[in-house]
Structure 1
Amino acid sequence: MGTHGISGSRELFMGSDAFTVIKGCNCPVLTVPDTWNKTSFGKVLFPVQLKPGTFEKYFYARPIIEKNNSEIYILGLAERNKPRELKELASLVDKLKLQMHYDHVKFQSAFSPCTDFPEKVFQVAEEFSADLAIIAVNTDSSKTSKNIPFAQQLINHLKIPVLSIKPISHHIISDIQPEFMENGQEV
């Protein structure tokens, strides 16, 4: 599905078609900016928050990651003034890193205690030269300081394709033993 960047007051009225489709779909949706001309995803940005869907989005995206021999940039996003959240996020990211290590996926990770998650994702996507962002679109669609859902801001403004995955489970998977996971199932 194509996207285009929007800004200003038009942002509240335009550019929501892709997000509306994504919210209504039960399958992953790939949105591609009309200016995008690459055919592979060598560098993948993987933002992680304490929201449902972290492992689901990884397992959905793993075939793309394997096919492209992608390098993953795990970006842990937590509120600056919430140290408990940062600690829980670190634990979640550690489990994800173990799973990626088990799957022989190249990755790097960073944590970003901040207040503007979309802006941080835009910045890291550019610095990392990402070819794809993989996000979870949660049913709560947490809004940012601009009162626009986080996922919608990424879909509308990232200059790279965005793979949006709506998690089936509605809980944070924090007790997974990654070394025993294969395609999202215990082995």
Structure 2
Amino acid sequence: MFREIENILFPTDFSENASNALRVAVSVAKLHNAHLHLLHVTIPQYVSMIGEIPFGTTYDAWADLENINKQNLEDLAKSLRKKHRISVTIHTKIGYVADTIEKTTHQQDIDLIIMGTHGSSLFKDLLMGSNTYQTIKNAVCPVLTIPAEFKTNEFLNVLFPVRNEAGVDEKYHAISHLLRPKRSKVELLGVINFYDIESFDAVSAKAHELIIQMEDRGIETSYRNVYCNHIADFILEYAHFNQSDLLVINVNIDSDWKQHFLGTYAQKIVKNAKCPVLSIKPQIVSNATESQEVEQVNSIYPYEFILPPIVNI
């Protein structure tokens, strides 16, 4: 069971995409009367590579740069406190982004991380993409990633894929704090591989358990099962077609490279989604679930699917 949202961590590189994600972080903080933690990490290797500070610079110069970033954060925090009447704390560090986010999450008892998906330049884009994946992999709390295309502050059309995997209840408890009763609508999408017909009953049972919980909270729901291959590709297309404004997924670590990579399912969705993605790491991940991360790339039916009639609840 997830706790109420009391502490939100917002890592920023001061890019335009980060500013876009900040709108969402402020909105969630106001909704829950939560404390917002702003974090900026100065990366010596990165700054040297783009020529802002020459190689061979002494640590004092890095400290000076950190002080500049600290002042920028403080100015931002002051503005947020005045404009939105929320509680804000700033944190500046020199180090590696993902590691620093992980440490700060533990130190500040963070309940939710909200961050932009990419940076403001090609180099930042590659760097922030890597940091996003690493943050999701290491996080002990949900991570909400905001793409540049997302321009609103509320989650009223939520896509909730249901697979035969561990952690479905955890996904619901995580999004329950972001839903607006009598305003948010959740579409439960049972996703079943063509070659895994036996999972139909299990997926349906999980979905109906969630429907009961959402009905009790006044959340409008709909439900359908889908048979398809290349599950991540189908979910991305479905979310785009239905104009979803939040996609919630389980995050499994790739079974062959546990210490390095997310599963292909999670990586593809986080990288390519046009809407925010809330990533939840299940506490228990079975070997069977991990094996499902292979997207059957050699399938002769890459996008074929069957849609039973939708059931409105």
Give the TM-score of the pair, scaled to structure 1. 0.76
For residues 255 and 152 of structure 2, what CA distance do their matches in structure 1 show? 29
For residues 137 and 281 of structure 2, what CA distance do their matches in structure 1 show? 7
| Residue aligning to 1:17 | 131
Confirm or deny that 1:2 pairs with 2:109: no
| Residue aligning to 2:259 | none
Structure 2: runs of 5 or more not aligned: 1-114, 119-125, 257-261, 287-313
Instruction: Compare relative contact order (CA 8 Å, sep 6+) and give the higher one, 1 or 2.
Output: 1
Mapping of residues 104-183 of structure 1, within 5 Å: 104-139=218-253, 149-170=264-285
Q: Does the 8 Å CA contact 1:86/1:113 hold for their aligned counterparts?
A: no
> For 1:96-129, what per-residue CA distance to the aligned partner results, in whole angstroms no more than 9, with x for missing partners?
1122222221111111111111121112112221
Number of residues of Structure 1 aligned to a counterpart in Structure 2: 160
Matched residue type, 1:16: S
Give the TM-score of the pair, scaled to structure 2. 0.47
Q: Does the 8 Å CA contact 2:162/2:190 hold for their aligned counterparts?
A: yes
Higher alpha-carbon deviation: 111-120 or 98-107:
98-107
Confirm or deny that 1:96 pairs with 2:214: no
Equivalent residue of 1:126, what SS? helix
Q: 1:141 to 1:73 in 2, by over 3 A?
A: farther
> For 1:130-155, what per-residue CA distance to the aligned partner results, in whole angstroms no more than 9, with x for missing partners?
1111111124569xxxx961011110
Matched residue type, 2:173: F
Equivalent residue of 1:17, what SS? helix
> For 1:57-83, what per-residue CA distance to the aligned partner results, in whole angstroms no more than 9, with x for missing partners?
101110111368310011111111222
| Residue aligning to 1:49 | 163
Higher alpha-carbon deviation: 64-73 or 151-160:
64-73
Matched residue type, 1:138: N
Deviation at 1:90, TM superposition (A): 1.3
Q: Does the 8 Å CA contact 2:142/2:281 hold for their aligned counterparts?
A: yes
Equivalent residue of 1:15, what SS? helix
For residues 139 and 41 of structure 1, what CA distance do their matches in structure 2 show? 27
> Could you tell me the percent identity over the aligned residues?
32
**Coordinate RMSD, CA, aligned:** 2.5
Structure 1: runs of 5 or more not aligned: 5-11, 172-187
For residues 128 and 51 of structure 1, what CA distance do their matches in structure 2 show? 24
Q: Does the 8 Å CA contact 1:141/1:149 hold for their aligned counterparts?
A: no
For residues 17 and 87 of structure 1, what CA distance do their matches in structure 2 show? 38
Deviation at 1:159, TM superposition (A): 0.4
Confirm or deny that 1:82 pairs with 2:171: no
| Residue aligning to 2:20 | none
Q: Does the 8 Å CA contact 2:246/2:277 hold for their aligned counterparts?
A: yes
